[in-house]
C-alpha cells in the first residue's frame, strides 16, 4: 500500500507539471541575450529558438521611414552619433550596431518574419502611429500577414490612443513601469487585450485584479530562471525575455521541456 501511495503521488506531481500553464514566449528585441538587439540577426536567432513572437522598437527617422531601434540616440549601440529621429535612412544604414549589424527598417522585419509568428511592435518614437497603421495595413493586403499576428504596445499612451483611432483590427497592449493595476483604465478605454508590466512589480494580487477584467498579462523583461518560474506561478499569458530558451529549458524544474 505504501508503494502504491508513493507511485500515486509521483504520478500526480508529473501530471501537474505537464498541465501547468505554458505562457507564450516573446523574444525581447529578437534574442537580445544572443545577438545585437533589434537586428535581423537577433530576430532570426529568436525564430531559431522557437519563440511564439518577437518584440521590437520603432522610430520614425528624418526621411520618413520606420526603423527598428531602441534608444533615442545612436551613440550607445553604434559607431555613429546623433538622434535616430534626426538621421536619414541613408545615414542610418551606414551605421554598425555593436560593430557588425545594420539597423533594419520595419519593412525588413515584416519581410523576414512573413507572418509566421507574432510581432509586438513597440511605438518608441513620436508620430509613429499613423505610419505604422499605413504600413501594416499594406502588408495585410499584399502578404501573409494577418491582423491577429501583430499587436502594438507603447509607454506613450497618447500614441496608443492615436493608433486606436486609426485601427480597430490590430490589438493593443499597454506598457507600464508602475503598478500595472493603474493601467487598467487606459486598457479598458482602448479595448486593449493586454497589459505589459515590469515583472518586478507584478504580484499574485495585482495579477488577479488584471485577470478579473479579462485582460492578459505580458511581463517584461524576464531573464532569470527564478523570475521566469515566479511568472509561471502567477499565471501570466506571455513572457518577454532576452533568453527565450530559458522559459522551457531543462534547468527550469517547474515545466517539462517544450
- Grid-cell match 501537474, residue found: 16
Is residue 239 within 8 Å of residue 227, measured between CB atoms? no
Q: Is 70 a catalytic residue?
A: yes
Strand partners, 174: 154, 195
Q: CA angle at residue 146 from 194 to 245, to 5 degrees? A: 60
Dist. CA 217–CA 23, nearest whole Å: 10
Q: Is 28 a catalytic residue?
A: yes
Dist. CA 122–CA 72, nearest whole Å: 14
Is residue 46 within 8 Å of residue 31, measured between CB atoms? yes
Catalytic residue among 28, 34, 133, 164: 28
Q: Minimal CA–CA distance to 115: which of 57, 53, 163?
A: 53
What 8-state DSSP symbol labels residue 103? P
Is residue 193 within 8 Å of residue 216, measured between CB atoms? yes
Q: Minimal CA–CA distance to 64: which of 163, 152, 134, 169?
A: 134
Strand partners, 60: 66
Q: Determine the straight-line distance between the first and last CA of the chain, rounded to whole angstroms.
A: 34
Angle formed by the axes of helices 129-142 and 106-113, to 10°? 30
Catalytic residues: 28, 70
Amino acid at each position: 500500500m505504501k508503494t502504491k501511495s508513493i507511485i500515486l503521488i509521483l504520478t500526480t506531481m508529473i501530471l501537474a507539471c505537464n498541465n501547468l500553464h505554458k505562457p507564450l514566449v516573446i523574444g525581447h528585441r529578437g534574442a537580445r541575450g544572443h545577438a545585437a538587439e533589434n537586428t535581423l540577426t537577433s530576430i532570426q536567432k529568436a525564430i531559431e529558438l522557437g519563440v511564439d513572437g518577437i518584440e521590437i522598437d520603432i522610430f520614425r527617422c528624418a526621411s520618413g521611414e520606420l526603423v527598428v531601434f531602441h534608444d533615442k540616440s545612436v551613440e550607445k549601440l553604434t559607431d555613429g552619433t546623433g538622434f535616430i529621429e534626426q538621421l536619414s535612412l541613408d545615414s542610418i544604414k551606414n551605421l554598425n550596431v555593436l560593430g557588425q549589424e545594420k539597423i533594419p527598417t520595419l519593412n525588413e522585419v515584416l519581410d523576414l518574419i512573413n507572418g509566421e509568428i507574432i510581432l509586438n511592435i513597440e511605438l518608441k518614437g513620436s508620430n509613429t502611429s499613423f505610419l505604422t497603421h499605413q504600413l501594416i495595413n499594406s502588408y495585410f493586403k499584399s502578404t501573409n500577414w494577418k491582423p491577429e499576428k501583430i499587436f502594438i504596445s507603447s509607454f506613450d499612451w497618447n500614441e496608443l490612443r492615436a493608433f486606436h483611432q486609426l485601427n480597430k483590427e490590430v490589438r493593443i497592449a499597454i506598457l507600464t513601469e508602475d503598478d500595472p493595476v493603474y493601467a487598467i483604465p487606459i486598457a479598458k478605454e482602448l479595448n486593449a487585450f493586454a497589459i505589459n508590466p515590469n515583472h518586478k512589480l507584478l504580484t499574485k494580487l495585482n495579477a488577479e485584479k488584471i485577470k478579473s477584467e479579462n485582460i492578459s498579462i505580458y511581463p517584461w523583461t524576464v531573464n532569470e530562471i527564478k523570475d521566469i518560474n515566479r511568472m509561471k506561478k502567477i499565471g501570466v499569458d506571455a513572457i518577454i525575455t532576452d533568453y527565450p530558451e530559458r522559459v522551457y529549458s531543462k534547468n527550469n524544474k517547474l515545466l517539462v521541456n517544450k
